[in-house]
A = this chain, B = another copy of it.
Amino acid sequence: MDFSFTRIKGGIGAARGFLSSAVSCGIKNPDSDRLDLALIYSESPCVSAGTFTTNKVKAAPVRVSQNHLRKGAIRAIVANSGNANACTGLQGINDANEMCLSVAKGLGLKKTEVGVCSTGVIGLPMPMMRLAPKMPELIEGLAAKRGNDVARAIITSDTHEKEIAISFDMGDHRVRLGGCVKGAGMICPSMATMLCFITTDANISSDNLRKAVQEAVEESFNRITIDGDMSTNDTVLVLANGASGMPRMRRNGSDCNKFRKALSWLMLELAKAIVRDGERVTKFVTVNVKGAKTHLDAKKVAEAVCKSALVKSSWNGGDPNWGRIIHAVGYSRARIREELIDISIGGKAACLGGLQADTPMDQLRAAVAEPEFEIEINLNQGEAEYRMYSSDLSPEYVDFNRSEYAYWKQARKDGLV
């Protein structure tokens, strides 16, 4: 970034005027005491913007939150892990509405001022009998320094919570921007692909915030993949309450540009954190496509490479296998000429003009042995570029995802199915 900012502690709790809370309901497992229901609340009115999955099968909370966002600003977000409330029909919509309503009542808000998000298993009803009784405790627990509890409550197969916050100056005022995110599985580019909550005390109009969010999502969450599976629940929600005391930013003014850059940087860091903490991931790989005729060609190449099971398996094995990379470039449907393609791995040439380069194999293997490395694919046909962030595919990923039967067994015990 070409302006300076400071990393500060925390995530969504860092911005002024936001309170957070989280409780344990045992949504997935009644015997567990891990946090699984979270609440974010802006003490003062705020503006909000969001993006949602483009999967046509949308979870109930996605439908409800989209509807509320359309009607005006969202001032509170209630989110649970352990059940996606997806493919749950009218009952699911009722449950999502019920979650909003009970938060709205407790906080003196309109129901449409509350956003709702869920993540977990698809197709099983929400265990509302365990969730509803915890609502009063959730609301009473709201406090300024509990952002980390929210970050922990929304994760599922993630190994740790993921949050970042920064601060920067806008005129005479210090502005804070922070967020948290959950990812791990069902991660695929093309629209926000997880849950992400961001708060800021910047003073920005609803229109400007919406534009900034769309731009930042396009360059962050839409650029990552772990397993190529787009979720039914992906949601990014950003709240801005102006509590920093700064005057409202002018559209396209320097402050607004600065804010957009800060938001883009933050989202990209959160998106990368999702890939690094992907299910059973051992490698974080940046795929940088250059020299394409068009942006779309570059994107097709990046997506084909980042999603190839064989390419991702070879990364897991520490094999600098450029043959598999170029084979994925070939079926990407982008306009390419095999004899022009250069591929480098960790800055070392692996393929030049479609043929094996003469870099010693030891150097290429050393590059792929790193936990994070970059693949550059130069099509040498134009000026367009596209960058994506991917992971390896491990035997442990498949093993981890073999069965969700335990969810069903609990739902049966709960009398929900």
Contact = CB atoms under 8 A, between A and B. Distances in A.
Interface of A: 54-58, 84, 86-89, 121-124, 185-186, 188, 227-232, 307-310, 313-314, 316-319, 321-324, 326-331, 336, 338-339, 351, 353-356, 361, 365, 393-399, 401-405, 408, 412, 417
B404 A314 contact: yes
A405 B369 CA distance: 13
Contacts of A86: 323, 327
Contacts of A232: 327, 330
A56 B398 contact: no
Contacts of A123: 322-323, 326, 351, 355-356
B309 A87 contact: no
Contacts of A228: 307-309
A318 B404 CA distance: 10
- In the A-B complex, the 5 residue pairs with the closest CB atoms: A317-B402, A57-B330, A122-B323, A123-B323, A395-B395
The complex is assembled from copies of this chain, and their number is: 2
Contact of A403 (B185, B317, B327): B317
B88 A401 contact: no
B122 A324 contact: yes
Contacts of A124: 323, 356
A339 B89 contact: yes
A355 B402 CA distance: 22
Contacts of A398: 309, 313, 316, 393-395, 397-398
Contacts of A403: 314, 317-319, 321
A331 B317 CA distance: 30
B327 A401 contact: no
B310 A185 contact: yes
Contacts of A396: 395
Nearest to A417: B356
B313 A402 contact: yes
Contacts of A84: 323
16 contacts: A55-B330, A57-B354, A87-B338, A87-B351, A89-B339, A121-B323, A123-B355, A227-B309, A229-B309, A229-B327, A230-B327, A309-B401, A313-B401, A321-B403, A361-B408, A398-B398
A78 to B, nearest CB: 22
Contacts of A89: 339, 353-355
Contact of A327 (B54, B186, B318, B322): B186
A116 B58 CA distance: 49
A394 B353 CA distance: 35
A331 B230 contact: yes
B404 A231 contact: no
A87 B354 contact: yes
Contacts of A356: 87, 123-124, 417
Contacts of A188: 331
A246 B86 CA distance: 61
A226 B88 CA distance: 31
A100 to B, nearest CB: 21
A232 B353 CA distance: 17
Given A121-B323, A229-B328, A316 B402 contact: yes
A393 B321 CA distance: 21
A194 B25 CA distance: 52
Given A55-B330, A122-B324, A123-B356, A399 B408 contact: no
A115 to B, nearest CB: 21
Nearest to A354: B87
B310 A229 contact: yes
Contacts of A122: 323-324, 326-327
Contact of A319 (B331, B351, B402): B402
